[in-house]
Amino acid sequence: MARKICAGIDIGTYQVKVLIAEETEQNGRTVPKVIGTGFAESRGLRHGYIINQPDVTSAIKHALGQAEKSAGIRIKNAYLSIGGIGLSSITSTGTVAVSRADSEISELDMDKAIETSRSAIPQSASINRRIIHTIPAQYRVDGKSVLGARPVGMKGNKLEAKVLFITSLENHLNDLIQAVEEAGIEVTQVIAAPLAASLVTLTKSQKIAGSVLANVGAETVSIVVFENNIPISLETFPIGSNDITNDIALGLKIPLEEAERVKIGAITGATYPKKKLDDIIEARLSDILDLIEAHLKKIGRNGLLPAGIILTGGGSGVSFFEELAKSSLNLPSRIASMNWSGSMREPIKDASWSVVYGLCRIGLSQDDEVNTLGVDIAKKAGGTLKRFLRQLLP
């Protein structure tokens, strides 16, 4: 029987990561087993945007070469994550009349309601943007909420769909795809990085109760809010852990390299004024948490997520971030732990690998939890990404 292999590529501002996984069975479930990893320092990026494509392609090739060598195989296609400040979401609602004479709701009615909600997106919110995920958040039949995700088979006169559309700036999406293709890899599908990470950092119970996952990167912080096991909002902010490093360098008058080591606690025995250092770090962390709190207020979920905030990404381990998040947001708070479903031949040390592992889980494990992310809808729309993009051309 042929091996089923999947690769994920995460192009971050700090590092490019590649992970190769193989489909295995564990306790009757299909799970990804990590067989190869590779990483390279990112160059040519700013806040997730590509400003020098040859540099980005070179980093991809370097990381890919490491992963292929450790896995002992060559990769031709991969799932690609997309992040950066061009990633956002918008919620829209569409209502249609049930088409059948006996008033029974069909798949066609659901599709029409989703398409109507897409058409209702304001032009100002869709210009220069592409929808990469379409996630039905709620259905209503004749004004009454439907318990469960699918109203097919129910009877009524009107069907209303509330849909979360996750979008990316079109030029950012195209640049990322081109950089990967220049490295000799065909992009199977593009997935929003926060959604990929959520598959291995949040439990199903956390998603059902209500939670917010905050991925603290080098130059951006992305959040995704879950409720009833469905993403209800996603946003990205142009601030990250590099800003903390810069603040420490300015505040303590030390080189950036030294400030980075101070931030992560790698320097011991140095005589830095602890109170001043803590004040510098707290001020920037407060800025990040203020942005998260403002977004939660905007969607009416501040202080109302029982599973609280889960912190992940390279910047999540900064001193006292967890406690500050708890007090600032008035929510339970914890640092994410990796929820590895399969065994690993390669050691993974931190949650910064959650995005690429999540990509491989999407590629290998098309289960119900994956389908709630709108990935199945995107696949039905076009299969490989090239076919998907051809549909968008005039």
Pull the structure tokens for residue 153: 């088979």
Closest among 347, 370, 258, 263 to 30, alpha carbons compared: 370
Query: Residue 167's CB: how many other CB atoms inside 10 A?
Result: 22
**Confidence at residue 367, expressed as pLDDT on a 0 to 100 scale:** 60
**Confidence tier at 140 by pLDDT (50, 70, 90):** very high
Question: Is it the case that residue 385 has pLDDT exceeding 60?
Answer: no
Per-residue HEC secondary structure of 196-265 comes to HHHHHHCCHHHHHHCEEEEEECCCCEEEEEEECCEEEEEEEECCCHHHHHHHHHHHHCCCHHHHHHHHCC
Percentage of residues in the chain with pLDDT exceeding 90?
A: 69
Computed over every residue of the chain, the mean pLDDT equals 87
Question: Is it the case that residue 394 has pLDDT exceeding 50?
Answer: no
| Domain with residues 205-335, CATH architecture | 2-Layer Sandwich (3.30)
In angstroms, the CA 228 to CA 313 distance is 24
Question: Is it the case that residue 146 has pLDDT exceeding 70?
Answer: yes
**Confidence at residue 330, expressed as pLDDT on a 0 to 100 scale:** 95
**Confidence at residue 149, expressed as pLDDT on a 0 to 100 scale:** 67
Question: Is it the case that residue 107 has pLDDT exceeding 90?
Answer: yes
Residue for token pair 């001043």? 276
Tens of pLDDT, residues 303-312: 999 999 999 8
11 three-class SS: strand
For the chain, the domains span: 5-86+170-201+339-392, 88-167, 205-335
**CATH topology agreement for domains 5-86+170-201+339-392 and 88-167:** no
Looking at domain 5-86+170-201+339-392, its CATH class is alpha beta
From residue 294, give the alpha-carbon distance in Å to each of 47, 215, 240, 284, 328. Answer: 21, 17, 17, 16, 11
Who wins on pLDDT, 374 or 120?
120
Q: Are 190 and 173 in contact (CB under 8 A)?
A: yes
Who wins on pLDDT, 383 or 101?
101
Pull the structure tokens for residue 49: 């945007």
Pull the structure tokens for residue 50: 């590509």
Task: Name the least confident of 91-105, 107-121, 250-264, 379-393.
Answer: 379-393
Tens of pLDDT, residues 160-209: 999 999 999 999 999 999 999 999 999 999 999 999 999 989 999 999 99
β-strand partners of 93:
162
> Taking the domain 88-167, which CATH number applies?
3.30.1490.110
Taking residues 217-221, what's their average pLDDT?
90
Tens of pLDDT, residues 245-301: 999 999 999 999 999 888 887 776 567 888 999 999 999 999 999 999 999 999 999
In angstroms, the CA 287 to CA 281 distance is 10
Taking residues 330-348, what's their average pLDDT?
69
**Confidence at residue 320, expressed as pLDDT on a 0 to 100 scale:** 87
